[in-house]
A = this chain, B = another copy of it.
Amino acid sequence: MQAVLIIIGDEILSGNTIDTNSNFMAAQLKEIGIPVKQILTVSDEVESIKSALKLGFEMGNLVISTGGLGPTNDDVTKKAFKEFFNDEIIFHQETYDHLERLFIKRKRTRLLDLNRSQAEVLSKAVIFQNDNGTAPGQMVSENGKTAIFLPGVPYEMKPLFSHKVIPWLMRNFQLGHLLTRVVSVVGIPESLLSDTIQQWESELPDHLSLSYLPIGNRIKLRISGSSDDRIQLENELEEQVQKLKPYITGHILSFNGNEIQDIVKEILLTKNLTISSAESCTGGGIARLLTSCSGSSGYFSGGIIAYDARKKIEILGVSENTIRQKTTVSQEIAQEMSLGCQKLFKTNIAVATTGVAGPSSDEFGNEVGMVFYSIRIDEKEYTLKLFLPHLDRNDFMNFVSQRVLQKLAELLVHPEKREE
């Protein structure tokens, strides 16, 4: 079984909204052994949606769409599916009852005609009731082709997909297994890495594939394969990871984590270390990354966003004198921030950032893109400087947040390189 996803929405094509639905669905489909062949992002037009359906079924036998199911005039997905499947729209009492219950729960009294139209479904469809919105998901299966359309609002789509669509697919199809192992490598450029592991790569069995994914100065090596036999595939991937090891000793950051915060979590829990953060130019980005992991309260004590210079002095105990002499964007302030943070939160590790996110230079004339960050691990301290003038404000904040955690992971995994 191969899937094609259709993401419907003018707001995505116009750059107003980032589509996160396709990522969510692709990851979950992969878990149950269904690869996504292609993602088509199309506008809210009947003809565009019908063309995408046609194209989708040329490439796969399962097509899943999100979006275009609102009660308003700009939403036409249901009409497009109806025409594509030569079906008709019928009133569905069960869905109407479900809507009524939802309205009572939300303390809304008037079920308008527009809402009533949400209970109109394709006559051939299996209905997936939506507990968090008015548009149900619908599924039509014909001649070995299965089409599912779902609402586009992520908070409605996601539970519907995880709790209803995925179980339905697992019940109704015989599915294989798609597995991936990620090895995170640092301190070696992509081209040199490729050179270094050339022999191993050339001996990789044909049914396993390798990709290189550079993120900051980390490279994720992804080894993927598919099989009906999960255990055998797991063993095969493990065997390849073991074969790869000797080629890249000294550069391996993790064999498990996908995101840097997962890798940091793994290391901190293993070494039984706690962490806190004092952020200026990253504005909470580091704390947000750390807390995105479940169980982070086990190692993350808390953080300060000391945006105002005065708060750096009052809360973190940074010296007013140092600010006057060195400005807030300096190695010295980064160091005083991490020290103050470590004391305040009483953690093994404290990280601190200070820099100019832009779009213009700060009141001291420090250039946009300049940043100092400090990492304290017990009594040892490391300050690093970055200059990233080519990044816009939010990319800068995200990049620096990622980089700080990555550097921390490097320092904890390869302490022998700390003195470099």
Contact residues of A with B, CB < 8 Å?
A: 7, 10-20, 22-30, 35-44, 48, 55, 70-74, 108, 110, 112, 114-115, 131-132, 134, 153-155, 158-159, 178, 180, 189-192, 194-195, 201, 209-214, 222, 224, 258, 277, 279, 283-288, 290-292, 294, 296-297, 300-308, 311, 315, 344-345, 357-360, 390-395, 397, 399
A23-B12, A288-B288, A311-B301 known; A38+B35 contact, CB < 8 A = no
Number of copies: 2
Report the bound CA distance from A190 to B178 in whole Å: 40
Are A23 and B18 within 8 A (Cβ)? yes
Report the bound CA distance from A420 to B23 in whole Å: 39
A14-B26, A345-B311 known; A397+B212 contact, CB < 8 A = no
A13-B26, A15-B24, A41-B22 known; A284+B294 contact, CB < 8 A = no
Are B132 and A390 within 8 A (Cβ)? yes
Report the bound CA distance from A26 to B10 in whole Å: 11
Q: Which 9 A-B pairs have the closest CB atoms?
A: A283-B291, A15-B27, A284-B287, A15-B26, A284-B284, A39-B41, A114-B191, A284-B288, A303-B305
Q: Which residues of B contact A394 (CB under 8 A)?
A: 292
Are A17 and B213 within 8 A (Cβ)? yes
Report the bound CA distance from A305 to B284 in whole Å: 8
Output the least CB separation between A164 and chain B (Å).
12
Which one, B108, B211, B307, contacts A297 given CB within 8 A? B307
Q: Which residues of B contact A311 (CB under 8 A)?
A: 301-302, 345
Output the least CB separation between A151 and chain B (Å).
10
Output the least CB separation between A43 and chain B (Å).
7
Which one, B40, B42, B71, B180, contacts A191 given CB within 8 A? B71
Are A192 and B42 within 8 A (Cβ)? no
Report the bound CA distance from A55 to B224 in whole Å: 28
Output the least CB separation between A403 and chain B (Å).
11
A30-B14, A74-B211, A212-B70 known; A304+B301 contact, CB < 8 A = no
Query: Can you list 16 A-B contacts with CB-CB less than 8 angstroms, sorted by A residue number?
Result: A11-B222, A12-B22, A14-B224, A19-B19, A39-B39, A74-B212, A110-B192, A114-B191, A132-B390, A155-B390, A279-B284, A284-B285, A284-B286, A291-B397, A292-B393, A304-B305
Interface centre among A20, A37, A191 (most CB of B within 10 A): A191
Report the bound CA distance from A279 to B300 in whole Å: 13
Are B358 and A294 within 8 A (Cβ)? yes
Report the bound CA distance from A292 to B307 in whole Å: 12
A41-B22, A191-B134, A308-B302 known; A292+B397 contact, CB < 8 A = yes
